[in-house]
Homo-oligomer: A and B are copies of this chain.
Amino acid sequence: MSPKTKPSEGRVGALSKERIVSSAIDILNSDGESALTFRALARRLSTGSGAIYWHLADKDALLAAATESVLSRVMAEVAGAPAPAGALRAIALSVFDTIETHPWVGTQLAREPWQPAMVEVFERCSAQFAAMGVSGDSIFPCVSAFVQYLIGAAAQTAAAARHRFRASDRPAILGTIVEQWTQRDPAEYPFVHLLAGQVRHHDEREVFLAGLDLILAGAKAAL
């Protein structure tokens, strides 16, 4: 608003943590995780690669900031559902959907589960479990299981997206994995063969939700 409050504020192209993180997010979204290098980022920002280090400690800090930027915005948008179980579902689904559109967030969550952005998730989920009637001592195990499941799904979704990225031919994505599995002896691995057929035609989101409901049902049963 008021100009010249800070010496750098006037310059249009001035570097800042926000601009760096925003550019990093653009690269991650459009070209994938492997495309984010300090050289590529510096080139996009028309600056030297060393300049980034004035605003961010290292690449880990950059990735953490990018994750927080995306995730905190998403968490702010989650509509408050009436029932606690509905709200928990809404929170989990919004994180799940974010990772499906931004797989690098899933990779980051799997590598660094105690991301600052996760504080928001912990807080909101705890409140919902409390509203469900879970007692003070039992909230932590419930939230822990909830978040653990979320991170597991994040890891899986991110891994699937990475495979999709290099093999552009659709059937090869999940096909080769299922194929490898079914190559095992059917007598020794009967269930793997049974499951292989179901894996092909399942909806990731639906299965994720089904698993989530298992946890919620378990929490309810333990009341």
Q: What is the CB-to-nearest-CB distance from A157 to chain B, in angstroms, rounded to a whole number?
A: 10
Contact indicator A221/B217 (Cβ below 8 Å): yes
Residues A189 and B119 in contact in the complex (CB < 8 Å), given A113-B159, A159-B114 = yes
Q: Note all chain B residues with C-beta closer than 8 A to A130.
A: 191
Within A104-125, the residues touching B (CB, 8 Å) are 107, 109-114, 116, 119, 122-123
Q: Note all chain B residues with C-beta closer than 8 A to A113.
A: 152, 155-156, 159
Contact indicator B221/A143 (Cβ below 8 Å): no
Q: How many residues of A contact B (CB 8 A)?
A: 62
Contact indicator A116/B180 (Cβ below 8 Å): yes
Q: Note all chain B residues with C-beta closer than 8 A to A180.
A: 116
Q: Note all chain B residues with C-beta closer than 8 A to A109.
A: 155
Q: Type the 1/0 row for A133-162, where 1 means its CB is closer than 8 Å to any CB of B.
A: 000110111111101111111111001000
CB-CB nearest 7 A-B residue pairs = A145-B211, A152-B152, A126-B191, A214-B218, A148-B152, A218-B218, A217-B218
